[in-house]
Chains A and B, each alone.
Chain A
Amino acid sequence: MEKFLLRNIENPNSADISEYMKAGGYKNISKALALSPQDIMDEIKKSGLRGRGGAGFPTGMKWSFAKADPKFPKYLLCNADEGEPGTFKDRPILEKNPHLLIEGMVISGYVLGSEYGYIYLRGEYPAAADILNAAIKQAYEANYLGDNIGGKGVKFHLAVHQGAGAYICGEETALIESIEGKKGQPRNKPPFPVNVGAWSMPTIVNNVETLSNLPLIIEIGGEAYSNIGSKDCPGPKLYSISGHVKRPGVYELPMGTNLKDIIFTHAGGMRDGSKLKAVIPGGISTPVLPADAIDCAMDFVAMPRAGSMLGSGAIIVMDESVCMVKVAYRALKFFEHESCGKCVPCREGTDWLRKVLERIENGSGKEGDVELLSDIAGIMLGKTFCPLGDGAAGVVMGMIKHFRNEFEEHIKNGKCQ
């Protein structure tokens, strides 16, 4: 497939506006401004674009809610808080192709009637901050940002807001709290951000990858876009693959590419002749799949059927050397560290799960600990304020479901086989 999101990134100067424009960049803004916002909205709906952040919500629908709200100003927030462990798909866009994102955001702002955009960039990407700020400066100079974009009287201002190390800020309402200068703790919904979001105004929060798809939709039209990849959730998709494969990295492939193909064809299969043991298919919050369960399409529809989720499309490949108890323990250490503390089941549950996993991993597990883990995860699942706690519970449940014997051996023998 021809690359779009990662077009030109081998060029060492790809982040520069002139290189971007040489490769055809920013022409979709002029094309978009010639259309009415409603026409573009129709194209987006036709394209079938779904949010790339993990939830897969239809973008056109989300936008129409915000558009229908009569309050102004409206805010467009780009979620660049790519924090899901295993995920590094947005990073090449942010660092190598920032103008694509800016172009996507300008078009989005025009469609939504939003004049102010912010890129909520995770604090762990300091280099990306510099690159984005430089790109924004260039875009202002080239009049792709400002009060009169393309001489058409369209106004859009954009700034980078750096996070400071909190995974939860990837949740859209937590992100909004954080941009307002508060702790990143999720808000009650309803009201939804499309009605009462940042600074109490209608707010659209979209992932970097989602917004970067906008120029493509303008370029080829919604119809053609909808023919790329899976029928139910079309378009190009960035998969990040890491772990024990020969060629880890970010791959732009049609949505719904088979997981097995991604691992064995695109990423070159297992490294050093090792044997595949398990795959976490969509970032650490998605349930693990054993080696024999990976023949499935990587999209929002097929993955739940296979017993996991597409998540951010972050594939972590593990070979036989990996101890699943240790992975579970490390994952829960992460969730415990990142739990915002707002709701009881997540705050206390992640702590307790981590402690039980820690003692099993240390060789002092007790009989009944597997049941205890299941119980704790069971109390959490579906009862936490936001999906973070669900993720933590789901990871433990998935691990126990597929690798129960490893846990039991650990408890019995005090260590791995």
Chain B
Amino acid sequence: MITLTINEKEVTLDKPVSVLDAARQAGIKIPTLCWHEALKPYGGCRLCVVEVERMPRLQTACTLMAADGMVVKTESETISKVRRGILEFLLINHPLDCPYCDKAGECELQDLVNKYGPTVGRYKEEKRKVPESHKDQIFARNMERCVVCTRCVRMCNDQQGASAISIMGRGNHSRMEPFSSASFNCEYCGNCLTVCPVGAILSRLYIHSFRPWQVDKEVETICSYCGVGCSVVVQVRDESIKRVIPKIGLGLNKGLLCSRGRFGYEYINSQDRLTTPLVRKNGNLEQSTWSEALSIVADRLSDIKKSEGGKAIAGIASPRCSNEDNYVFQKFMRMTCGSNNIDSISRTGYAAAQKYFEQLLGQGITTNTIEGLKNSELILVVGGDPTAVNPVLGLSIREASRQGAEVVVLGNAKGLDRFMTQQVVPQVFGEAEVLEELLVAVSGAKGLRGEKMDVDSGIRMLSDKYSGKMDLDGFEKLKQSLLESSSTSIVFGTDLVQRSNGHRAIFAVAGLTYLLEARLYMLSDRPNEQGLIDVGCVPDMLPGGRPINIIDFKRKFETEWGGPIPDEAGKTLFEIIEGAKNKDIKALYVMGDNPVFNLPNGPHVIEALQSLEFLVVQDLFLSETARLADVVLPALGWTEKTGTYTNLERRIQLQKKAVNTSSGMEDWKIISEVSGKMGYKMSYSDSEDVMEEIARVSPLYRDLTYREISKGNSLWPYHGEPLRGEIHKLPVMVDSKGEYRADLYISLEKPLFHSGTLSRRSPALIKICPQPTLKINGTAAAKLGLNEGDMVRISTAAGSSEMPVSIDDTIKDNKVLMGNNFEGKGVFNLITYKLDPVTMAPGIEGCEVTIVKL
């Protein structure tokens, strides 16, 4: 215990903190400028000087540790004089352009001068002139206003880890550069904006469009982009979103955001939004009314159900929609349409892996929090770049690396380039084999645990085939590291699921997790991949992870919902697509997704959907899929409705309504209207009402209320009990080393600045990354005579596309990468797939590609 006196007030501390923090705890405010609660103390501005008894000179409160018996004074004539002097210094080169500066009203310098500053300045010489820079599309930079507090630099280096900002020059010639341009590693997280105390860095998304005091509504909600679920504050004026900002300390992101979260909100105001229902008449989609459109949907579905049975109807739910939307959707499919054919795009990765992990380990989701990741001794990253897929989770890995953890990447992970301590690059598409060898090696050294018989027997099976040795650079070192680490996390990206034998990698990762008692984190590109599984948008499970084939569970739901649920598990996503093509499926209801674009082999998906008798799509935009629909229903999106989302660490969070809008309806509401017309009444008054039902029927969400969720600490309970029972017969693991002899293979890139349908309608993200590029490493580019920016034709067996190349030396194998984000330019148009027999996820590996310079 430390007790000190600040301004004659006794302050007791439980742990050592700075005098500044001690004063804050006691409610005493000491002025600061370079200090920021998210950053380490710097001691540059000298405004926080205090008098300390028995210390000869003034001390900076931010850097001085509080000590027992210390007597501190934070205000005195001497101190005021110093603060006045320092502020006078800060203003000598300041342009004093507050009337024009967007920061006015929330400028720390303005506030400080107002309170402590001089009334007149004595500086007579010319001020430093630095022209304002609008070179960047996102940031406006004004170095005349900069006070060189270096908060942006420290944020960019120490928290974000992008290291894109530096002080150039020294002394009074110091200025911050460059904030932008990909060549300087700017990740456009905008976290520098959060910390800039003055108007030196401003966002051009809202420059000169409002004053901070004109915000009439501030809503704390969560981001709509990925499976992390960062907290944000939406600032609204006149029912339009002015700005999305983080709040220090709020949510699991603790005030950090990524480019998508901070700048990707404009899609919601896009001109392309659907405003009225559309109905296909004479082959064309025409504007219609809600009552007409809903009746058509209800009638057609009822007809098909009557003539073909519920099995002929299928539904695709959405990992972008809320738990409430998805819950109502699966209930509608099961109860109203009489079908268990419910799945989602998540089958291409997360849901597929989640199920197999759950079968093997008893749980298919991390048992830890994202924040806990940074306490690991060793982090093994496989199957994707966490800093691009789940950027804020990626920051935890960078933080761990800074704290001295080992970070080992198997394959490529561009965003960890400077943070990894080891990289092991397998032969192209050979990750599973490396993981299996590692598993055998680890089990050889540690033995089996005897807790999960099926996993043990699987490992034994592998041990017969493999030696636990490998002629691969870094393999032995990685093995040793894994054996020595006492606290290991495995971050698993879904790239390895998208293999025709993806279950091998999943088994190996499960085995390693089990033997090493590691923590497993599964990356998730969409905000509600876990939630949609939790509420039953999978063909074989009811809400709460209750298997449909366990009769007791089914009965319970039948009683609750008042009707029969079909017995058999339904079709998975790709079985639905095949079913449509074979005409086993006659009607498909797509809620909030775009399978034509988001599934590999787009032309094949189009063909399948065109074979349907009836396709209904509800979405924000007239997507590639919606264009094929018979009825299109406009839905509401982020900030327009309230609902809960469950992130990749099982945290259930509330996404709140912030603006009122005239068109569109909540997804759950549209469905309950259709359901009512089809004869199964759902009478929810609002989304909270839906949540009440979920909390009643789902053991995972038991007794949860919006009020409870709003506190931010609702992680669904983990009991380690298998929900579906363990598998009893391991599928034969394919023992093929793979023959990948081509020069180049094309693979999916998941870029930081885009996520697809939403991001491509966000002008800011388009400005940051305006067009698709083909990423190729320097060696391969040189062989083909390609330079940065050269246009190429990319051809595969499935199709071809044209775009510029971008050279990326973090690709260490013979893959070229292309994203699936831009309309007509998605890599999925060029890739065919083969389903993994175990996970039913699409294998997209081994796609040979020819690249020709145009």
What residues of chain A lie closer than 8 Å to B193, measured between beta carbons? none
Q: Are A344 and B46 within 8 A (Cβ)?
A: yes
- A385 contacts B by Cβ under 8 Å: yes
From residue A99, how far is it (CB to closest CB) to chain B in Å? 35
**Contact among B88, B122, B123, B170 for A339, CB-based, below 8 A:** B170
What residues of chain A lie closer than 8 Å to B170, measured between beta carbons? 166, 183, 339-341
Q: Of all chain A residues, which has the CB nearest B56?
A: A382
Q: Are A379 and B125 within 8 A (Cβ)?
A: no
From residue A416, how far is it (CB to closest CB) to chain B in Å? 22
What residues of chain B lie closer than 8 Å to A350, measured between beta carbons? 171-172
> What 0/1 pattern do residues 331 to 343 of A give for CB contact below 8 A with B?
0000011111111
- A188 contacts B by Cβ under 8 Å: yes
Q: Are B43 and A345 within 8 A (Cβ)?
A: no
- A383 contacts B by Cβ under 8 Å: yes
**Contact among A336, A359, A372 for B171, CB-based, below 8 A:** A336
Q: Are A379 and B172 within 8 A (Cβ)?
A: no
From residue A393, how far is it (CB to closest CB) to chain B in Å? 12
**Contact among A190, A348, A372, A379 for B82, CB-based, below 8 A:** A379
> What 0/1 pattern do residues 360 to 398 of A give for CB contact below 8 A with B?
000000100000100100110011110000000000000
Q: Are B43 and A385 within 8 A (Cβ)?
A: yes
Q: Are B43 and A344 within 8 A (Cβ)?
A: no
From residue A224, how far is it (CB to closest CB) to chain B in Å? 36
Q: Are B172 and A351 within 8 A (Cβ)?
A: yes
Q: Are B171 and A352 within 8 A (Cβ)?
A: no
Q: Of all chain B residues, which has the CB nearest A190?
A: B65
Q: Are B46 and A345 within 8 A (Cβ)?
A: yes
- B184 contacts A by Cβ under 8 Å: no
Q: Is the interface of A mostly helix, strand, loop or mixed?
A: helix
> What 0/1 pattern do residues 304 to 348 of A give for CB contact below 8 A with B?
000000000000000000000000000000001111111111011
Bound complex: CA A200 to CA B659 (Å):
51
- B148 contacts A by Cβ under 8 Å: yes
From residue B368, how far is it (CB to closest CB) to chain A in Å? 28
What residues of chain A lie closer than 8 Å to B169, measured between beta carbons? 341
- B115 contacts A by Cβ under 8 Å: no
- A355 contacts B by Cβ under 8 Å: yes
Q: Of all chain A residues, which has the CB nearest B91?
A: A348
From residue A394, how far is it (CB to closest CB) to chain B in Å? 14
Q: Are B44 and A385 within 8 A (Cβ)?
A: yes
Q: Are B172 and A383 within 8 A (Cβ)?
A: no
From residue B113, how far is it (CB to closest CB) to chain A in Å? 13
- A117 contacts B by Cβ under 8 Å: no
- B104 contacts A by Cβ under 8 Å: no
Q: In residues 68-88 of chain B, which contact A (Cβ within 8 Å)? A: 81-82, 85-86, 88
Q: Are A382 and B45 CB-contacts (below 8 A) given A183-B170, A347-B148, A348-B93? A: no
**Contact among B41, B57, B63, B86 for A345, CB-based, below 8 A:** B86
From residue B697, how far is it (CB to closest CB) to chain A in Å? 54
Q: Are A188 and B63 CB-contacts (below 8 A) given A183-B167, A344-B44, A344-B45? A: yes
Q: Are A379 and B86 within 8 A (Cβ)?
A: yes
Bound complex: CA A347 to CA B147 (Å):
10
Bound complex: CA A336 to CA B55 (Å):
29
Q: Are A341 and B82 within 8 A (Cβ)?
A: no
- B90 contacts A by Cβ under 8 Å: yes
From residue A165, how far is it (CB to closest CB) to chain B in Å? 10
What residues of chain A lie closer than 8 Å to B122, measured between beta carbons? 372
Q: Are B46 and A337 within 8 A (Cβ)?
A: no
Q: Are B57 and A339 within 8 A (Cβ)?
A: no
Q: Of all chain B residues, which has the CB nearest A346?
A: B171
Bound complex: CA A199 to CA B81 (Å):
39
> What 0/1 pattern do residues 744 to 783 of B give for CB contact below 8 A with A?
0000000000000000000000000000000000000000
From residue B96, how far is it (CB to closest CB) to chain A in Å? 15
Q: Are B171 and A344 within 8 A (Cβ)?
A: no
Q: In residues 11-44 of chain B, which contact A (Cβ within 8 Å)? A: 41-44
Q: Are A352 and B46 CB-contacts (below 8 A) given A344-B89, A344-B90, A345-B89? A: no
- A287 contacts B by Cβ under 8 Å: no
From residue B555, how far is it (CB to closest CB) to chain A in Å? 63
Q: Are B89 and A341 within 8 A (Cβ)?
A: no
Q: Is the interface of B mostly helix, strand, loop or mixed?
A: loop
Most central of A344, A347, A366, A385 by chain B CB within 10 Å = A344
Q: Of all chain B residues, which has the CB nearest A339?
A: B171
- A349 contacts B by Cβ under 8 Å: yes
Q: Are A349 and B46 within 8 A (Cβ)?
A: no
Count, chain B residues at interface, CB 8 A: 34
What residues of chain B lie closer than 8 Å to A344, measured between beta carbons? 44-47, 86, 89-90, 147-148
Q: Of all chain A residues, which has the CB nearest B81?
A: A379
> What 0/1 pattern do residues 170 to 211 of A give for CB contact below 8 A with B?
000000000000010000101000000000000000000000
From residue B63, how far is it (CB to closest CB) to chain A in Å? 5
What residues of chain B lie closer than 8 Å to A384, measured between beta carbons? 46
- B58 contacts A by Cβ under 8 Å: yes
Q: Of all chain A residues, which has the CB nearest B169?
A: A341
Q: Are A343 and B45 within 8 A (Cβ)?
A: yes
Bound complex: CA A47 to CA B89 (Å):
46
What residues of chain B lie closer than 8 Å to A351, measured between beta carbons? 92-93, 171-172
Bound complex: CA A383 to CA B83 (Å):
10
What residues of chain B lie closer than 8 Å to A343, measured between beta carbons? 43-46
Q: In residues 291-335 of chain B, which contact A (Cβ within 8 Å)? A: none
Bound complex: CA A337 to CA B42 (Å):
22
Q: Are A341 and B172 within 8 A (Cβ)?
A: yes
What residues of chain B lie closer than 8 Å to A385, measured between beta carbons? 43-44, 46
Bound complex: CA A105 to CA B49 (Å):
39
From residue B217, how far is it (CB to closest CB) to chain A in Å? 37
Q: Of all chain B residues, which has the CB nearest A184?
A: B170
Most central of A337, A352, A355, A372 by chain B CB within 10 Å = A352
Bound complex: CA A343 to CA B58 (Å):
15
What residues of chain B lie closer than 8 Å to A349, measured between beta carbons? 89
From residue A349, how far is it (CB to closest CB) to chain B in Å? 6
Bound complex: CA A414 to CA B696 (Å):
89
- B480 contacts A by Cβ under 8 Å: no
- B787 contacts A by Cβ under 8 Å: no
Q: Are A341 and B46 CB-contacts (below 8 A) given A188-B63, A348-B89? A: no
Q: Are A339 and B172 within 8 A (Cβ)?
A: yes
**Contact among B63, B125, B172 for A347, CB-based, below 8 A:** B172
- B174 contacts A by Cβ under 8 Å: yes
From residue A55, how far is it (CB to closest CB) to chain B in Å? 15
From residue A205, how far is it (CB to closest CB) to chain B in Å? 20
> What 0/1 pattern do residues 125 to 157 of B give for CB contact below 8 A with A?
100000000000000000000011000000000
Q: Are A341 and B174 CB-contacts (below 8 A) given A349-B89, A383-B46? A: yes
Bound complex: CA A400 to CA B579 (Å):
93
Q: Are A352 and B89 CB-contacts (below 8 A) given A342-B44, A382-B58? A: yes
From residue B261, how far is it (CB to closest CB) to chain A in Å? 31
Bound complex: CA A336 to CA B169 (Å):
12
Q: Are A383 and B49 within 8 A (Cβ)?
A: yes
What residues of chain B lie closer than 8 Å to A347, measured between beta carbons? 148, 171-172, 174
From residue A255, how far is it (CB to closest CB) to chain B in Å? 26
What residues of chain A lie closer than 8 Å to B81, measured between beta carbons? 379
What residues of chain B lie closer than 8 Å to A366, measured between beta carbons? 124
Top 9 closest pairs, chain A to chain B, by CB: A379-B85, A348-B89, A339-B171, A341-B174, A351-B172, A382-B57, A355-B125, A341-B171, A188-B63
A-B contact pairs, 26 of them (CB 8 A): A188-B42, A188-B43, A336-B172, A339-B170, A341-B167, A341-B172, A341-B174, A343-B44, A343-B45, A344-B44, A344-B45, A344-B148, A345-B46, A345-B86, A347-B174, A349-B89, A350-B172, A352-B123, A366-B124, A375-B85, A379-B85, A379-B89, A383-B49, A383-B57, A383-B82, A385-B44
Which B residues lie at the A interface, using CB under 8 A? 41-47, 49, 57-58, 63, 65, 81-82, 85-86, 88-90, 92-93, 122-125, 147-148, 167, 169-174
Known contacts A343-B44, A383-B46; 17 additional CB pairs below 8 A are A183-B167, A183-B170, A336-B172, A341-B148, A341-B169, A341-B170, A343-B45, A345-B85, A345-B86, A347-B148, A348-B90, A351-B93, A375-B85, A379-B89, A382-B58, A383-B58, A384-B46
